């Protein structure tokens, strides 16, 4: 990781998030949280996986210059956005669900609720609606005026990452080893592509061999799902109960059935292993620690100026006067 990226991360992790608080919209848009939950409910009835896909947006937004909805900006002639960054291209999905939430909110309370807060509320709702914990979110974020594909490329971890790398990365964001393992429990719902596991099935660490940590029967299943000539966009479940937010993910890791290398390594690495063991036996503790860690991740702020976007995909247009002033 370059010094510049490190400084940029440290800056985000230490920037004040003092203005974030529960009930931020209680006067300006009292129905905001209800509206978000209703749209999420409908989306997940239509397509259960959309819950997982929306929840993942919080991670990919907050780690890159804070939770500011920079991730949602489409590319423009002058700006390469984050949607096509290495970890996001052909992978992040359900942006249209966020659009639906925004549309519903704009009808009730125009230009009031930020897209950054929508990601935070919708992620919480996705977990709660999948059978996981529910928690009070802090709100009051602003939407960024720009996005950075380069920062996303430099920061977001690859599925090949090992636990020691992930511990260091999360530490830069003030997230502990426990937070890392709890947050990885998000992989209790959703799917990943063959693209993300080909190396561990056929050439782990350049050995020409599979990752020895994969349990043999599970490996056979993955080999069938992802043969060498497969379309790399074919997807497999991240745990054995991919529509239910539970501690099955951790039970799977203990039995060598983690889908991603970055998942299984949490069990093979001593510093993270003990948390995997605890969560595999104690779903209530997992739920408590997960909610806490999501709130902590939601506190990441860049400290840069922002706005309330009218459309989450683009910054608000500025009048000539404002442009001349700035």
CB 122 to ligand HEM: min, Å? 12
**Dist CA 83 CA 144 (whole Å):** 15
The answer to whether 56 contacts ligand HEM (rule: CB under 6 A) is yes
The answer to whether 236 contacts ligand HEM (rule: CB under 6 A) is no
CB 157 to ligand HEM: min, Å? 4
**Dist CA 195 CA 16 (whole Å):** 38
DSSP state of 314: B
Q: How many residues lie near ligand HEM (CB under 6 A)?
A: 27
- Is 103 flagged in the annotation as binding? no
CB atoms within 10 A of CB 171: 15
Which tokens is 272 given? 């993270």
- Write each residue from 77 to 96 as x if it is in contact with ligand HEM (CB under 6 A), else as -, in one continuous string: --------------x-x---
Q: Which of 39, 52, 129, 201 binds ligand HEM (CB under 6 A)?
A: 52
The answer to whether 248 contacts ligand HEM (rule: CB under 6 A) is no
Burial 136-145 (b: 16+ CB within 10 A, else e): ebbbbbbbbb
Cα-based angle 287, 288, 290 (whole degrees, multiple of 5)? 65
- Write each residue from 189 to 218 as x if it is in contact with ligand HEM (CB under 6 A), else as -, in one continuous string: xxxxx-xx----------------------
Selected range binding ligand HEM among 67-75, 157-165, 206-214, 249-257, rule: CB under 6 A: 157-165
- Is 246 flagged in the annotation as binding? yes
Which tokens is 205 given? 């660490």
**Dist CA 233 CA 211 (whole Å):** 21
φ/ψ of residue 274, rounded to 5:
-65, -35
Q: Which is nearer to ligand HEM, 25 or 59 (CB)?
A: 59
- Write each residue from 114 to 143 as x if it is in contact with ligand HEM (CB under 6 A), else as -, in one continuous string: ------------------------------
Task: Tell which positions 256-275 bind ligand HEM, by CB under 6 A.
Answer: 260, 262
Task: Give me the helices (H) in the chain, please.
Answer: 3-14, 32-46, 49-62, 95-108, 115-129, 149-155, 163-172, 177-184, 198-202, 216-225, 248-254, 261-268, 270-281, 283-298, 320-325
Among residues 60, 83, 200, 309, which one is catalytic?
60
**Cβ contact 43:94 at 8 Å:** yes
Q: What is the CA radius of gyration of the chain?
A: 20
19 counts as catalytic: no
Task: Tell which positions 163-182 bind ligand HEM, by CB under 6 A.
Answer: 166
Catalytic residue set: 60
Binding residue positions: 61, 64, 66, 68, 70, 82, 157, 187, 239, 241, 246
Contacts with ligand HEM, residue ranges (CB under 6 A):
49, 52-53, 55-56, 58-59, 91, 93, 157, 159, 161, 166, 183-184, 186-187, 189-193, 195-196, 238, 260, 262
């Amino acid at each position: 990781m370059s010094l510049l990226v490190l400084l940029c991360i440290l800056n985000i992790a230490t920037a004040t998030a003092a203005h974030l608080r529960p009930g931020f919209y209680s006067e300006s848009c009292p129905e905001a949280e209800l509206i978000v939950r209703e749209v999420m409910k409908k989306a997940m009835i239509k397509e259960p996986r959309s819950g997982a896909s929306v929840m993942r947006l919080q991670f990919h937004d907050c780690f890159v210059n804070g939770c500011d909805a920079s991730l949602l900006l489409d590319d423009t002639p002058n700006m390469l956005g984050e949607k096509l960054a290495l970890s996001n291209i052909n992978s992040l999905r359900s942006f249209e669900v966020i659009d639906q939430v925004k549309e519903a909110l704009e009808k009730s309370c125009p230009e009031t609720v930020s897209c950054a807060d929508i990601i935070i509320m919708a992620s919480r709702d996705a977990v709660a609606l999948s059978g996981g914990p529910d928690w009070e979110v802090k709100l009051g974020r602003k939407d960024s005026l720009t996005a950075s594909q380069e920062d996303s490329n430099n920061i977001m971890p690859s599925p090949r990452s090992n636990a020691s790398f992930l511990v260091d990365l999360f530490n830069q964001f003030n997230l502990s080893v426990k937070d890392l393992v709890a947050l990885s429990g998000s992989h209790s719902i959703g799917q990943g592509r063959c693209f993300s596991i080909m190396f561990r099935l056929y050439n782990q660490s350049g050995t020409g061999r599979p990752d020895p940590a994969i349990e043999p029967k599970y490996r056979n299943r993955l080999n069938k799902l992802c043969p060498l000539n497969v379309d790399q966009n074919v997807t497999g479940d991240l745990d054995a109960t991919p529509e239910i937010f539970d501690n099955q993910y951790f039970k799977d890791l203990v039995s060598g059935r983690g889908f991603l290398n970055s998942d299984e390594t949490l069990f093979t690495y001593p510093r993270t292993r003990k948390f995997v063991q605890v969560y595999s036996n104690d779903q209530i503790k997992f739920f408590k620690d997960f909610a806490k860690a999501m709130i902590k991740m939601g506190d990441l702020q860049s400290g840069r100026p922002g706005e309330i976007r009218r459309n989450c995909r683009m910054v608000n247009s500025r009048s000539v006067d404002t442009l001349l002033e700035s």
